Structure 1
């Protein structure tokens, strides 16, 4: 029988302690509760913090569970299940709008496209399933960063590359965009990632109101926009599609 790895056991004990006791605990509290030397406890906490499983309050120095652990603990839907539940709704959206539809999820430092419905015409199109999109400039990325603290952290810490003349790279301006996205429930990308391309996206939530993905409608600027803004009826259609998928994965009506 293989031996247990002591460092992993101790890390698990730290996480259980933070999950089951007070909201925040200091280093001394954690060390004494688990019978660890302060140096050992600090090393474990530092490693967990680097991985996003633990966060340290800047003012008090106390520790609490981090967003990455909460994201995993809330059991994000399996990508294949999310895709299967979105099939009918995304097909309907593409058919009614006449544009391409993408389903994206957070992956590493970007957005992974897990489903792509072609624009329903005879034009030649490239399947984008498996492609990665940036968090800071795409409609999908902005929605995920606005609602998912892990995605926001990746977008804030990462390099916000200037992809076009319209790309927002300034952190303060980017944070303002995320706040606007949260307040209205959708995000846009009008030539911020690719010249001549526009998109609008809305979040998919599970029964815990946690973001599990996002849906975007994508097409040429001249078709999706009027006077430089996404057409209101397309925004409504994307939001309704995202709500329908959310209800299908267990979210209440909202």
Structure 2
């Protein structure tokens, strides 16, 4: 591991969680280095556009260069590229928003967001990071991970976003077992009060789970008695079609979590 690179990444991660900015001394304390070292790291990152300094306070925040890097990552991500058409189709079919996400360090990164059809005001969620345990996307992916990785998630941090978020490993494990049986996951009031999600796993050509795709919207629309099963079937079928588009074998879901 190259120490300077590791420290630079640590700086960026600290700034990503800071509200709203951090000074040199604060950053030095957080990453465990001397103030001159922190200052040198910040100056280098600033020269590359990865951080910017507020001229009034002298504190630092993330810079616009990260947007370029993030967009390049999303544009080159095969799951996102392949998911666009399928997500738009599902959004039209279900009259709801569709998110496609991947699991990263205990969080789901939304790599594509297909808006609900219609003219209602909607906020683009591409790039959002969501606790895996609080959303259907995260549970859909986690259920089909190898046992060792699944255990690591369940024994790791389980944030409570709302009062309905699950932070009990045993209860989550039971949910993941049901997801493996049904092929889809559900969240209700767990990520956002009043909203629900229905998601299914997506597999690649190796048969491994690489992400999830699902509907997001008001509980009364997604989980109504006459709509829930229909939505679940649609999500599962579209996720399977996307998996086949990625070259997944037909038995991918059966062998992925052995």
The two structures have a TM-score, normalised by structure 2, of 0.64
Which residue is 2:108 aligned to?
111
How far has the Cα of 1:212 moved from its partner? 0.8
Check whether the contact 1:188–1:230 (CA below 8 A) recurs between aligned residues: no
Q: What is the distance in 2 between the residues matched to 1:94 and 1:154? A: 33
Which residue is 2:207 aligned to?
209
Counterparts of 1:66-77 in structure 2, within 5 Å, are none
User: Structure 1: which 5+ residue stretches go unaligned?
Assistant: 6-77
Q: What is the distance in 2 between the residues matched to 1:122 and 1:110? A: 30
How far has the Cα of 1:208 moved from its partner? 2.4
1:171 and 2:169 correspond: yes
How far has the Cα of 1:118 moved from its partner? 0.6
How far has the Cα of 1:252 moved from its partner? 2.8
Which residue is 1:248 aligned to?
245
1:127 and 2:127 correspond: no
Query: What number of residue pairs does the alignment pair up?
Result: 177
Runs of 4 or more above 3 Å deviation: none
1:232 and 2:213 correspond: no
Which residue is 1:136 aligned to?
133
Q: What is the distance in 1 between the residues matched to 2:149 and 2:131? A: 11
The two structures have a TM-score, normalised by structure 1, of 0.65
Counterparts of 1:182-221 in structure 2, within 5 Å, are 182-221=180-219
Q: What is the distance in 2 between the residues matched to 1:168 and 1:155? A: 13
How far has the Cα of 1:225 moved from its partner? 1.4
Counterparts of 1:8-157 in structure 2, within 5 Å, are 80-149=77-146, 152-157=150-155
Q: What is the distance in 2 between the residues matched to 1:225 and 1:188? A: 9
How far has the Cα of 1:121 moved from its partner? 1.2
Q: 1:141 to 1:133 in 2, by over 3 A?
A: same
Check whether the contact 1:94–1:100 (CA below 8 A) recurs between aligned residues: yes
Which residue is 2:10 aligned to?
none
Which string of whole-angstrom CA distances, capped at 9 and with x for unpartnered residues, describes residues 194-216 of structure 1? 10001100001112221011001
Q: What is the distance in 2 between the residues matched to 1:144 and 1:79? A: 21
Q: What is the distance in 1 between the residues matched to 2:208 and 2:244? A: 12
